[in-house]
Structures are given as structure tokens and as C-alpha cells.
Amino acid sequence: MDFCNERIVVTGGAGFLGKHLCAELMRNGAREENLLIPKIEDYDLTQQADVVRMYDEMNPTVVIHLAAEVGGIGANRDNPGRFFYANLAMGLHLIEQARLRLSKKLKKFVQVGTICAYPKFTPVPFKEDDLWNGYPEETNAPYGIAKKALLVMLQAYRRQYGLNGIFLLPVNLYGPGDNFDLHTSHVIPALIRKFIEAKRRGEKNVICWGTGGASREFFYVEDCAHGITLATQKYNDSDPVNLGAGFEITIRDLAEKIKTLTGFAGTIEWDASKPDGQPRRCLDVTRAKERFGFEASVPFDEGLRRTIDWYVAQETS
């Protein structure tokens, strides 16, 4: 696919991943005037009428659907119904309207899913073929199942209508521009903010959720943007594809690493009354390499340094 000739709608394009993706698309030939971002102030993508209007006004040839209502463990626990409805409704309307526009030169639909769709006790590393072998971790199951339903929809629409829809499963993202709100953020930005604020206030300890024993894989946002771009250009199959860095670290070790990189001199206390979430997360990323040549390139410590530096710069500007 030659991006120079495409009108590309990026839902969520003004968000964390979306900004990096739009920059990566332009580096790969997309013209800025043909990168179209439906802003939430103008289009409520959970509403069919707004989605119809978006397609009519933007007339895309490619849709990359990033937009989601999502957060960390606390936000998922507080909003299970909303997260299920909003994420399913957005995808449902966007895919159906894409199908109705196949005769109007719509070439491709790219759905960005979530590894919250995987079963709670998936063997590590997670392989795409294990996606249906159990129920997701309870705190984020509504969000994960809503996204997984869109995989089924795309596969069904490919078979019946010929819609070229692909489904990507990125692991936990981090990087410059992330959400650092302590209630809705994921673990890396939350820890960075906690340690920096504790250091600034001269506090002697930082309290972290859970036991620290769960493990996670973390994926630098610019690597993810590159992976989505490659898949949009080169991948045209119904099989879901993991996007990740292919390593895992315990939350305890992660906290120690961020403590060191932020220069916090106090101690870490663990609040075991709070949930750990899924016990382990680490992806098998073989399929992405085989199908469209993607491999992550940013070392984890380097990505953390860039993220911390960005946050500090924002706090002091």
C-alpha cells in the first residue's frame, strides 16, 4: 500500500498512540492533509449517526481504529459496563459502515485490540492460537471481551462481504505522551509519577498496588506505531497478530528500576489488598516478524529514560 495515495482515518489519532502513529504514517509517505482524525468533540463513535457522518465527511480509503475507553486496574474495576459498551459499540458501528462502503473504494480496516482479551492463565509466551482457551482476567474482562468480539466480526465480514480487516494485539504501551493520571493510567506512568512526586516532597516511601509478583511485557509506543504501520502496508489476513517486545519483567523489578532511574532514595511498600491483575503477560511475537517483518527496536531502559525525561520536562515547563 502506497500511503501517499490513501485517505487514512485514525480514530484516537489525537491520543497517546495516535499521535505517534500519525507521525510514523507521515514518515512512510502519508500526506498530512490525508490523515483524518475524528475528534471526540465532533463525533461520538459509540453512536451510529456520528459514525455514518464521519465516513460521509472524511471519505476514507483506510480506517485504523485506535480509539478506546480504557484505563488501569482501578478504572476497569469502576467502569466494567461502560468499557464493555463503549468499546463494542465503537467497533461495531465502524466496521459495519466500512462494510457498507466497500463499493466506495474503502480498502482496509485495521482494528487495534488488546491483550486483555487473552485468558487469565494463558501459557507464556502468549500465542495467538491461545486466544480462545479460557476467560480473561476478571478485572478487565469486559474491556477485553468487547475487543475480542470485534475480531470475530472482522473475520465474519471478511468471509461474507470481502472486507479486508486485520486485528492487532499490542501489549502494554509506554512512552512520551502517556497518560499520567494516577486513577486511569497504566503501571509505568503511574510509578514514574509516584516516585518523582515522592522525591520532590522528600517522602521516605512509595506505596505500590499488589504484591509486585505479577509480570508484564512493555512495548515502547514508537515501536508500536511502526508495527501498526507495517501491518497496514503489508498484512492482509484474518489471523490476529501480537505486537510486542517479547520480554517480561515483574512489577516488583519494574518498580525498583523506575525508582533508580528517577533518583528516589526511599523505600517501596506493597499494598497486597489491591489486585495484581493477570499473573503474567508476555507475547510470542513470531507471527508479526513472519507475516510483515516487524521487530521491536527500542531497549527497555532507553524507553524508560525517554519517558521519564518527557514527564519531567512537562512538569517543569
Instruction: Based on the residue annotation, tell me whether 143 is a catalytic residue of this protein.
Output: yes
Q: Report the alpha-carbon distance of residue 38 to residue 32 in Å, rounded.
A: 14
Cβ atoms of 214 and 276 within 8 Å: the answer is yes
Q: Report the alpha-carbon distance of residue 145 to residue 84 in Å, rounded.
A: 8
Cβ atoms of 73 and 209 within 8 Å: the answer is yes
Q: Report the alpha-carbon distance of residue 266 to residue 197 in Å, rounded.
A: 12
Catalytic residue among 43, 55, 118, 143: 143
For residue 284, give the C-alpha cell.
Answer: 510470542
The three-point CA angle 55-228-82 to 5° equals 60
Provide the annotated active-site residues.
Answer: 143
